[in-house]
Amino acid sequence: MKRIFWHSILALLAGGAFRVFFVLKFPGTSGDTIIYDQLAANWLKHFQYAMDVAGQPLSVDIRMPGYPAFLAVLSFLTRQSVENAHRAAMIAQIFVDLATCLIVAVLAAFLARGAAPVDSPLASRGAHRVFCAALWLAVLCPFTANYVAVPLTETWAVFFTAIATLAFVRLLNDLSASFPSANAPHPDLSGWKIFAAGSIIGLGTLFRPETPLLLATALLVFAFLLLRRRQVRPLVRLSALLLLGAAAPLIPWTLRNAITLHEFQPLTPKDANLPGELVPNGFMAWERTWLYRMRDNYLVPWKLNDEQIQIDDIPASAFDTPDERARIAAALDAYNQELTLTPEQDAVFGQIARERTARHPLRSYLWIPLRRALGIWFTPRIELLPVSGHVFPLAYMHEEDPVDQRVTILWFFLNILYVALGLCGAWRLSRFAALRAPVALMVLYFVLRTAFLTTLETPEPRYVLVCFPLLIALAAQLFTPRPARS
């Protein structure tokens, strides 16, 4: 135990130094940061959850309140403006992320104990080794570490996903333990543990509205396990407690939206636009017929209603015919005059989207989503670094900017390594009957979340960062001696 303690301290110190490096060397912001800052500032100044519109605060629901509340509290405690409190937010996020690393290590060790007989030395020595391996893999993971250096929700989303997964895995273990035989009575699961697991999901939802995807995944796994034993009443009880726990933290936010905005909105609207803004459904539908690369987000959708969009910046795959290209060019020329998309222009894009989908339905419903899935999973993840990401042509980039090229290649293969190790660990654990349910929970969550992300208007690799704690916990299973198959 003493050895594990010192290993943990050393790993956390290394992880803390790693994150301080990102905060000092590569602090960043994004478009969402500006929104969070405005919401937090108006909350402090006017006691109103609002955005600045025409110089006046306007109550909105375009973002969940968790992260603006976090920024507002730090601004109040440091007696600084919200923008000047960014450094304090980054420091706080360092500790949150290190706490996530410890949770990942505990989750990995819990899984490792389930892969070895209780009376075997592997149950202790193997779990200790897996704990250390998971902790080191987590603290040295650059993809989650560099997001502590930007005021965004990713660090908190990763934290709540990790702790909720641990809670669900422990519930699955309790459920398995309550069925010692095929003729076992109803399972006796602790009500407060179930409610607490749901509450973690609710708290995470206050930061990221898609957090309930993990709850939906857990409910599917629990339903499969209980219904195959015809345990309907326990399933109803468990589902009700989980849903009540998840709903409890969202009650104040839902009441606020009902009273202030006269709407029932426990999350955020699907299209997070300000009141009165046009929702560019046609434009987004057109994007979903061709857009799958991260770099195209900067050239097309993220310029909408802010900058000119040039037809030459759009890849050729966005046009099926010269006539289609000419129609889009005409619509963009009209848009570039005012930098505001009109309903008529949006209708042009919507019509072209319908034509493209009718012409090639598999492209819109299968191939583009698959390319988006590959893009958000297998990417260098350098969006927060001062690196262009240009690798080809190899010889030219080696002469032009060798550091840029090497960093991009290194992070690309490092990302592949983490994903590959996680999948190998999942395969290894799936050989043990007692661990198939936890593995199914995590792998199914990867699939459902990825499928959900491919439907968004802009595919962003950062949205799968919440899967990395689970990947790391699975990857650490490769660092324990191979036990006999149970």
Q: Indicate whether 485 pLDDT > 50.
A: no
Q: What is the pLDDT of residue 345?
A: 92
**Mean pLDDT score, 337-366:** 92
402 vs 248, which has greater pLDDT?
Answer: 248
**Mean pLDDT score, 63-74:** 96
149 vs 2, which has greater pLDDT?
Answer: 149
Q: What is the pLDDT of residue 278?
A: 80
Q: What is the pLDDT of residue 453?
A: 92
Q: Indicate whether 96 pLDDT > 90.
A: yes
**Mean pLDDT score, 71-99:** 95
On the CB side of 84, how many CA atoms lie within 13 Å of its CA? 7
> Taking the chain, what is the end-to-end CA distance rounded to the nearest angstrom?
27
Q: Indicate whether 184 pLDDT > 60.
A: no
Q: What is the pLDDT of residue 53?
A: 82
In 44-87 the beta strands, taken as DSSP E runs, fall at: 50-53, 56-59
Q: Which of 144, 168, 123, 106 lies closest to 18, judged by CA?
A: 144
The contacts found for 136-139 with CB under 8 angstroms, 24 or more apart, are 136/11, 137/418, 137/421, 137/472, 137/475, 137/476, 138/15, 138/100, 138/101, 138/104, 138/105, 138/469, 138/472, 139/11, 139/12, 139/14, 139/15, 139/18, 139/98, 139/101
Query: What ranges do the domains of the chain cover?
Result: 2-255+408-479, 281-359
Confidence grade of residue 12 (pLDDT, cut at 50, 70, 90): very high
Which range among 52-56, 127-131, 429-433 shows the weakest confidence by mean pLDDT?
52-56
**Mean pLDDT score, 347-354:** 94
Q: What is the pLDDT of residue 484?
A: 42
pLDDT tens digits, one per residue of 414-447: 999 999 999 999 999 988 888 899 999 999 999 9
Q: Indicate whether 207 pLDDT > 70.
A: yes
**Mean pLDDT score, 289-309:** 89
372, amino acid identity: R
Confidence grade of residue 385 (pLDDT, cut at 50, 70, 90): confident
Average pLDDT score over the chain: 89
